[in-house]
Amino acid sequence: MIHSSKAGFMSGRTLRQRFPLLSMIIQRLLLSVVLLFAVSIVIFGGIEALPGDFATTYLGQSATPQAVANIRTELGLNKPVVTRYVEWLGGALTGDFGTSWANRNSVSEQIGGRLGNSLFLAFFAAIISVPLAVGLGMLAVLFRNRLPDRIINIVSLAAISLPEFFVGYLLIVWFAVNTGIATFPATVYDGMPFLDRLSAIALPTATLVLVVIAHMMRMTRAAIINVMSSAYVETAELKGLGGLRIIARHAAPNALAPVINVVALNLAYLVVGVVVVEVVFVYPGIGQYMVDAVSVRDMPVVQACGFIFAAFYIFLNMIADILAIIANPRLRHPR
């Protein structure tokens, strides 16, 4: 270890040693692509393995063998699995997820609007919850084991312990029914004015914030406390710096990596895990769309949603990985 740093000694330094940061980032990118490919196989194979058949469900009482065969031919289900997978993947990579079996519309078009709604909701939930969680985490460290720390802990734990639909209904009862300061349902439509949209999503956003904040806050607190016992924090203390400055400037930068990972997981949840919240608030997001598609066995839609969710998860985690790598000064500034 000591030796490899003495650059002059090394005769043939590999690319990896010369550009550690770049090579690690490229490695993560390649890994993500491989992962996405693997996920596509799992999704396609999983749906293939599902019991039940669209044609029989669709035709109901009138499912004669001839009619079923006709529909299967029409949907291309008589082709071999591999051919169908390759066709589907080829389309998916160019943004074409085929047509819905239920209503013969383009899946991509339908998803487009829904995904936009979901991202809109997730974005506002994220810009409120992430700074709030990190800030509260720092405050909890500053007042460690004292009253503010306990209050922050108890409230956030309570919020995460309640099921999200319950939190949602509570908020509806208090703010929409009893006091009437918020609107319900949170239905949005195309061409709705921006401010109306904001007020429509107020309650679902609040629900999501309450659900995700505890996890990020507690991770921030734990990661910073872990760093607080290190010698450089003592150095900062012996420089006579104030508590908040020590936490924000000397402890937090070294606690970034675990916090970034938890934030990424929660952001991914905000995009792909909001099904329940969307249903409770009748919000036309992608989660609700997927639930509807599952109930009628509209496989192209289910596949597309699954693939997009997986892509989001992988993308956000990759970004988190890369940010965590960049946060390490040893990799950012090699010797």
Partner 1 sequence: MPDLLSVRNLKIEATAYPPGEPPRTVTLVDNVSFDLTKGKVLGLIGESGAGKSTIGLAALAYGRGGARIAGGQIGLNGQDILTLGPKEIRGIRGARVCYVAQSAAAAFNPAHRLGEQVIEASLRHRIMSRAEAEKRAVYLFRILGLPEPETFGRRFPHQVSGGQLQRAMTAMALCPNPELIVFDEPTTALDATTQIDVLAAIKHAIEETRTAALYITHDLAVVAQVSDDIMVLRRGRTVECGSVRQIIEMPREEYTRALVNVRQSIRQETADQSDPLLKVEKISARYPNGFEVLHDVSLHLPKGQTLAIVGESGSGKSTLARVITGLLPPSEGRISFNRKELTPALKDRSKDDLRRIQLIYQMADTAMNPRQTVRDIIGRPLTFYYGLRGAVKTARVKELLDQIEMGNGFIDRYPAELSGGQKQRVVIARALAAQPEVILCDEPTSALDPLVAQGILELLMRLQKETAVSYLFITHDIAIVRAIADSVAVMHRGRLVRFGPRSKVLSPPFDDYTDLLLKSVPEMEVGWLERVLEARRMESTGN
Where on the chain is the footprint of partner 1 (CB under 8 A)? 2-4, 9-10, 12, 230-232, 234-242, 245, 249-250, 253-254, 329-330, 333, 335
CB of 149 to partner 1, least distance (A): 18
Which stretches within the chain are classed as H helix? 15-18, 20-49, 54-59, 65-75, 81-93, 107-142, 147-161, 164-171, 194-200, 202-228, 231-238, 243-245, 256-272, 275-280, 286-295, 299-326, 329-332
Nearest to 133 by CA among 160, 115, 99: 160
Q: What is the DSSP string of 290-301?
A: HHHHHHTT-HHH
Q: Which residue lies nearer to partner 1 by CB, 14 or 94?
A: 14
Q: Which residue lies nearer to partner 1 by CB, 45 or 253?
A: 253
CB atoms within 10 A of CB 240: 6
Q: Which residue lies nearer to partner 1 by CB, 201 or 260?
A: 260
Which string of b and e fits 100-132 if b means at least 16 CB within 10 Å? Answer: bbbeeeebbebbeebbebbbbbbebbbebbbee
Q: Which residue lies nearer to partner 1 by CB, 223 or 265?
A: 223
**Residue 96 and residue 212: Cα distance in Å, rounded?**
33
Give the total residue count for the chain: 335
Residue 20 token pair = 């550690």
CB of 244 to partner 1, least distance (A): 12
CB of 2 to partner 1, least distance (A): 5
Q: Which residue lies nearer to partner 1 by CB, 9 or 194?
A: 9
CB of 100 to partner 1, least distance (A): 51
Q: Which residue lies nearer to partner 1 by CB, 213 or 256?
A: 256
Q: Which residue lies nearer to partner 1 by CB, 113 or 258?
A: 258
Phi, psi of 99 (to 5 degrees): -115, 150
Residue 177 Cα distances to 142, 180, 181, 291, angstroms:
39, 5, 9, 27
For tokens 């809109």, name the residue.
120
CB of 305 to partner 1, least distance (A): 40
CB of 104 to partner 1, least distance (A): 56
Residue 332 token pair = 């950012």
CB of 20 to partner 1, least distance (A): 12
